[in-house]
C-alpha cells in the first residue's frame, strides 16, 4: 500500500484527542509509544507483569517486589524529559563494576565493591526505591516515576499480584516462568514441542487502573510483541480479556515481523490472529501485517536463531478480522535488527477504514 498525504493527514486527525491503550510487554510497544507521545492523544500503556528474569528477577527474590522491567521500558518510551533522564533509567551496571557498556569502573572499583548492583538496571532500582518510599505502593511509585520523567501518558501494570506464567506443551510437559518460556528456543538447539496453551499458575486479578483505561479507550492496540510471553500473558489475567471484549474501542492487533523459535515456529499471520482471538474470546477489528522486502543479510542472521519473516495470508486474514492492512512496515536499526517503522505503523493503525484499500 502506498500511503498518500491525504491518508496520512486523516490518520493523524483520527488519532487526535483519542484515548489510546496499548497492551503488551518487552520491547515491542517501545517504538509505538515513543512515536504516539508526539501527538495529541491520551495514552495508557497496560504492561505485562509476568517477567521472571534478569534484574527484575533478582529484585523480586531479594526484596519481594513485583517485576518492574517492562514498566520501566514503557515509562522511558513515554518520557519527555530528555536524553539524560532516559539514559539514567536505561543505564545498566556492568559485571565489572558500576560502569556500563564495558567502560572502566568508576574510581578503579571492581564488581566485588558493588556485588548488589552488578547487572541491575538503574531504572529498576529507582522504581523499586520509589515503591519503598511509598510504603510498598507500586501505583504511587509509578506516578512518581511519571512525574520524574514527565511522561506523555500513563503506565498501568496489568496486575498488582505476582503472576507466574506457565505453558502446556503438545508433548504433555509443562514449563514454568516467563523467562523459561521466552528463552527455551535459545537454550535448546534440538526439536521443541509446540506450545499448546498458556495459563497462570495461580489466578490473579487485573489492576483496576488497567481495567479503567480499557473501559475508557477509543482505540486498543495489541502488540507488537512476543505472542505468548508479552501479549497473551496479559489476556490470562482475570478480567482483562473480558474488559477488552466489552470495550467499545476499536481493537487493533499488530502482527509480529518475525516468528520466534519456541513460541511461534511456522506461524503465518493468520495463526497469530487466530490465537489472539482464541484467548480474547472474540475477534479484533483491524489487523496490521507487514509485507515487504527483508534484507537478505538480516534474513540469514535471524534464520540462524530460528526466526523467519511472518508470511501474510490475506485470504485467511479476511476471515478473521473485518479490516486488514498489509503494508511495508519494516525499519532496520543499526544495520543489525528489524523493527516496525513507527510512523508507517501509526498510519496503518489510525487511518479510517474508508481510506484503506
* Higher per-residue confidence, 152 vs 188: 152
- Other beta carbons less than 10 A from residue 252's beta carbon: 23
Each residue's pLDDT tens digit, 82-94: 888 888 888 888 7
Which domains, ranges and CATH numbers included, belong to the chain?
5-49+158-355 (3.40.50.10680), 53-153 (no CATH)
Each residue's pLDDT tens digit, 13-58: 778 899 999 999 877 788 899 999 999 999 999 999 987 545 545 5
* Higher per-residue confidence, 196 vs 2: 196
Asked if residue 107 has pLDDT above 50, the reply is no
Provide the pLDDT confidence category of residue 274 given band limits of 50, 70 and 90: very high
Determine the pLDDT at residue 231: 96
What share of the chain has pLDDT > 90, as a percent? 67
> CB–CB of 21/44 below 8 Å?
yes
Determine the pLDDT at residue 84: 86
Cα angle vertex 85, ends 81, 86, to 5°? Answer: 95
Instruction: Classify burial at 42, counting beta carbons within 10 Å of its beta carbon; exposed 0-12, middle 13-18, buried 19 or more.
Output: middle
Residue with cell 534474513: 299
Determine the pLDDT at residue 190: 86
Per-chain mean pLDDT for the chain: 87
Taking Cα atoms as reference points, which of 132, 20, 149, 1 lies closest to residue 73?
A: 149
Asked if residue 326 has pLDDT above 60, the reply is yes
Determine the pLDDT at residue 94: 76
Taking Cα atoms as reference points, which of 65, 58, 64, 86 lies closest to residue 74?
A: 86
Determine the pLDDT at residue 336: 85
Asked if residue 345 has pLDDT above 50, the reply is yes
Residue with cell 488497567: 210
Strands (E) located in 96-161: 154-157
Provide the pLDDT confidence category of residue 64 given band limits of 50, 70 and 90: low
Asked if residue 172 has pLDDT above 80, the reply is yes
Each residue's pLDDT tens digit, 155-165: 999 999 989 99
Each residue's pLDDT tens digit, 276-305: 999 999 999 999 999 988 888 899 999 999
Across the range 248-260, mean pLDDT stands at: 97
Residue with cell 508470511: 311
Determine the pLDDT at residue 210: 98
Provide the pLDDT confidence category of residue 67 given band limits of 50, 70 and 90: confident
Across the range 54-81, mean pLDDT stands at: 75
> CB–CB of 47/158 below 8 Å?
yes
Provide the pLDDT confidence category of residue 116 given band limits of 50, 70 and 90: low
What share of the chain has pLDDT > 70, as a percent? 85
* Higher per-residue confidence, 270 vs 119: 270
Amino acid at each position: 500500500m502506498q500511503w498518500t498525504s491525504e491518508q496520512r493527514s486523516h490518520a493523524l486527525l483520527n488519532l487526535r484527542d483519542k484515548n489510546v491503550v496499548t497492551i503488551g510487554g518487552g520491547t515491542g510497544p517501545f517504538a509505538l509509544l515513543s512515536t504516539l507521545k508526539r501527538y495529541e492523544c491520551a495514552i495508557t500503556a497496560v504492561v505485562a507483569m509476568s517477567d521472571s528474569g534478569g534484574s527484575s528477577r533478582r529484585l523480586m527474590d531479594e526484596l519481594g517486589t513485583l517485576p518492574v522491567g517492562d514498566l520501566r521500558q514503557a515509562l522511558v518510551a513515554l518520557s519527555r524529559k530528555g536524553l539524560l533522564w532516559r539514559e539514567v533509567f536505561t543505564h545498566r551496571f556492568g559485571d565489572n563494576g558500576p560502569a556500563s557498556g564495558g567502560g572502566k569502573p568508576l574510581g578503579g572499583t571492581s564488581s566485588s565493591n558493588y556485588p548488589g548492583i552488578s547487572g541491575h538496571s538503574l531504572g529498576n532500582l529507582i522504581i523499586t526505591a520509589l515503591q519503598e518510599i511509598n510504603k510498598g505502593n507500586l501505583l504511587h511509585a509509578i506516578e512518581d516515576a511519571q512525574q520524574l520523567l514527565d511522561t506523555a501518558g500513563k503506565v498501568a501494570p496489568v496486575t498488582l499480584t505476582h503472576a507466574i506464567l506457565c505453558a502446556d506443551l503438545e508433548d504433555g510437559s509443562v514449563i514454568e516462568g516467563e523467562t523459561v518460556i521466552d528463552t527455551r528456543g535459545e537454550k535448546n538447539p534440538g526439536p521443541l514441542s509446540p506450545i499448546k496453551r498458556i495459563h497462570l499458575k495461580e489466578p490473579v486479578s487485573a489492576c483496576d487502573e488497567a481495567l479503567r483505561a480499557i473501559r475508557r479507550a477509543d482505540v486498543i492496540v495489541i502488540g507488537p510483541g512476543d505472542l505468548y510471553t508479552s501479549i497473551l500473558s496479559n489476556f490470562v489475567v482475570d478480567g482483562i480479556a473480558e474488559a477488552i471484549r466489552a470495550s467499545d474501542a476499536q481493537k487493533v492487533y499488530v502482527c509480529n515481523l518475525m516468528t520466534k523459535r519456541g513460541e511461534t515456529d511456522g506461524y503465518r499471520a493468520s495463526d497469530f490472529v487466530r490465537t489472539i482471538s482464541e484467548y480474547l474470546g472474540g475477534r479484533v477489528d483491524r489487523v496490521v501485517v507487514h509485507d515487504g522486502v527483508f534484507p537478505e543479510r538480516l534474513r540469514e542472521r535471524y534464520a540462524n536463531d530460528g526466526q523467519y519473516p511472518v508470511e501474510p495470508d490475506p485470504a485467511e486474514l479476511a476471515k478473521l478480522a473485518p479490516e486488514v492492512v498489509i503494508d511495508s512496515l519494516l525499519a532496520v536499526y543499526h544495520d543489525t535488527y528489524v523493527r516496525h517503522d513507527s510512523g508507517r505503523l501509526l498510519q496503518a493503525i489510525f487511518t479510517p477504514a474508508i481510506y484503506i484499500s
